[in-house]
Amino acid sequence: MGDGTPSYINEKYIKELLEKLKRKLENNETKFENIEITIEVNPGTVTKEKLELYKNCGINRLSIGLQSAQNSLLKEIGRIHTLKEFLETYKIAKEVKFDNINVDLMIGLPNQTIQDIKESLELLIKLDPTHISVYSLIVEEGTIIEKKIEEGSLVLPEEDLERRMYWYVKDYLELHGYDQYEISNFSKKGHESKHNLNCWNQKEYIGFGIAAHSYIKNIRFGNIENIEKYIENIEAEKIELNKNIEEKQTKEEQEKEFMMLGFRKIQGVNIAKFKEKFTDNPLFLYNKKLNKLVEEGLIEVDLNYIRLTNKGLDLANLVFEEFI
């Protein structure tokens, strides 16, 4: 449960939702306890009682948004929590016996330094979460951050510094026992995010709620963003009206997307899986593109996988563009 802050919601609704889902799954002979169920949690939005209810109704993984260990940086990007609130949330999560926890960290923040990154990482290593996600700041159009950057009151790091931040994080986490399995994700062995891997392996998923996206039978679709209209359509039993985007992929589009998603994984594009799914061999299908990317030093190819090189990790968008 994510894309927003589900921990703001009264926990009784989370419990009700999961109980209904459990009944549905068990009717289809799917064991509920074998499923990875994650909820995103903002620091300071949960109590011990709320986390205990999460645990008791089947949630077995938390994702907590630290973003930075510096309160000044959190304030600059409009986050409402403090480091102290994050530490308290993490502490009670461990008391409740959540043993699979992801923590989000951000790089490329206004006025952020390598020293700031180092301090955040040192804190995380002491806390020992099973999974760490590292994202660059994306400045959305029309936001306060964009306005402050345009005014000059906030200064983003130069691209070269941001890439040095990324490599500092990568080297530091790998040195301390975390495996990088995707461009932005690191985990202890056996704690890779199942949901994320499902998406990167081009498997199906269903999104519930406003603005949620789904992928079923090679069709991608998204829901409307107006919550009043969304509820009105459900109550009128006109659920189909909640779709506002629908795109049926051709085989060519599926193949290109499989390549792009595969390149996000450090392991790379699985050649055998591509052939099994599409009957085509990507080495022949994209021969010219792949040779060009190899010559540019952006990818490498072996008998089983096609993957990004270290240079390719820095210039991944150039690789992705070849398959749009």
pLDDT band at 3 (very low <50, low <70, confident <90, very high): low
Q: Examine the pLDDT at 245 and tell me if it is beyond 90.
A: no
Q: Rounded distance, CA 128 to CA 59, Å?
A: 20
Same domain, residue pair 58 and 103: yes
Predicted local confidence at residue 29, as pLDDT: 67
Same domain, residue pair 52 and 119: yes
**Sequence-ordered list of residues with C-beta below 8 angstroms from that of 317, at least 6 positions apart, any chain:** none
Predicted local confidence at residue 140, as pLDDT: 81
Q: Rounded distance, CA 212 to CA 193, Å?
A: 19
User: The domain spanning residue 285 has which CATH number?
Assistant: 1.10.10
Residue % of the chain over a pLDDT of 70: 98
Regarding beta strands 213-216 and 179-182, do their DSSP bridges make them parallel or antiparallel, or are they unpaired? Answer: unpaired
The torsion angles phi and psi of 132, rounded to 5 degrees, stand at -135, 125
pLDDT band at 227 (very low <50, low <70, confident <90, very high): very high
Same domain, residue pair 38 and 138: yes
Residue 292: inside a domain = yes
Residue 122: inside a domain = yes
Lowest mean pLDDT across 25-34, 35-44, 195-204, 248-257: 25-34
Q: Rounded distance, CA 73 to CA 83, Å?
A: 11
Residue 85: inside a domain = yes
**Sequence-ordered list of residues with C-beta below 8 angstroms from that of 135, at least 6 positions apart, any chain:** 104, 105, 106, 107, 184
Same domain, residue pair 17 and 160: yes
User: The domain spanning residue 104 has which CATH number?
Assistant: 3.30.750.200
Residue 257: inside a domain = no
Residue 216: inside a domain = yes
Predicted local confidence at residue 26, as pLDDT: 76
pLDDT band at 152 (very low <50, low <70, confident <90, very high): confident
pLDDT band at 147 (very low <50, low <70, confident <90, very high): confident
Same domain, residue pair 30 and 122: yes
Residue 255: inside a domain = no
Same domain, residue pair 214 and 281: no
Domain limits for position 209: 201-248
pLDDT band at 4 (very low <50, low <70, confident <90, very high): low
Q: Examine the pLDDT at 106 and tell me if it is beyond 90.
A: yes
Cβ(130)–Cβ(103) under 8 Å? no
pLDDT band at 24 (very low <50, low <70, confident <90, very high): confident
The per-residue pLDDT of the chain, averaged, comes to: 93
Identify the residue with better confidence: 126 or 151: 126
- CA 240 to chain CA mean position, Å: 27
Q: Rounded distance, CA 297 to CA 311, Å?
A: 7
The domain total for the chain is 3
pLDDT 10s digits, 175-214:
999 999 999 999 999 999 999 999 999 999 988 888 999 9
Same domain, residue pair 315 and 215: no
Lowest mean pLDDT across 28-32, 35-39, 132-136, 304-308: 28-32
Predicted local confidence at residue 143, as pLDDT: 80
Give this prediction's pTM.
Answer: 0.92
Instruction: Average the pLDDT over 145-151 and give the result.
Output: 84
- CA 316 to chain CA mean position, Å: 17
Q: Examine the pLDDT at 115 and tell me if it is beyond 70.
A: yes
Closest CA to 68 of 150, 124, 27, 14: 124
Same domain, residue pair 157 and 293: no
Same domain, residue pair 209 and 122: no
Identify the residue with better confidence: 84 or 156: 84
Q: Examine the pLDDT at 10 and tell me if it is beyond 90.
A: no
Same domain, residue pair 152 and 269: no
Instruction: Average the pLDDT over 135-155 and give the result.
Output: 84
Bridge partners (DSSP) of residue 214 are: 221
